[in-house]
Chain A
Amino acid sequence: EAGVTQFPSHSVIEKGQTVTLRCDPISGHDNLYWYRRVMGKEIKFLLHFVKESKQDESGMPNNRFLAERTGGTYSTLKVQPAELEDSGVYFCASSLTGRLANTGELFFGEGSRLTVL
Chain B
Amino acid sequence: RKEVEQDPGPFNVPEGATVAFNCTYSNSGSSQSFFWYRQDCRKEPKLLMSVYSSGNEDGRFTAQLNRASQYISLLIRDSKLSDSATYLCVSLSGGYNKLIFGAGTRLAVHP
- A46-61 residues with Cβ-Cβ distance < 8 A to B are 48, 55-56, 58-59
Number of interface residues of A (CB under 8 A): 27
Q: Which of B44, B50, B98, B101 is the one whose CB lies under 8 Å from A42?
A: B101
- Residues of B with C-beta under 8 A to A100: 33, 92, 96-97, 99
**Contacts known (A42-B102, A48-B97, A56-B95); A101 close to B33, Cβ less than 8 A:** yes
Residues of A within 8 A of B96 (CB): 98-101
A77 within 8 A of B: no
CB of A97 to closest CB in B, whole Å: 10
Could you mark each residue 95-117 of chain A with 1 if its beta carbon is under 8 Å from any beta carbon of chain B, else 0?
00011110111101111000000
Q: Hey, what's the 0/1 contact readout for B79-108 against A, CB within 8 Å counting as 1?
A: 000000000101010011111111110000
Instruction: Tell me if A84 counts as interface (CB < 8 A to partner B).
Output: no
Give residues of chain A (11-58) contacting chain B, Cβ–Cβ below 8 Å.
Answer: 31, 35, 40-45, 48, 55-56, 58
Query: B1 interface residue, CB < 8 Å from A?
Result: no
Q: Which of B1-22 contact A (CB under 8 A)?
A: 2, 4
Q: Which residues of chain B are near A55, meaning CB under 8 Å?
A: 97
Given contacts A42-B2, A42-B102, A103-B50, contact A98 B45 (CB under 8 A): no
The 4 A-B pairs at the shortest CB distance, nearest first, are namely A108-B44, A104-B35, A43-B101, A42-B103
Chain B interface (Cβ within 8 Å of chain A)? 2, 4, 31, 33-35, 42-47, 50, 88, 90, 92, 95-104
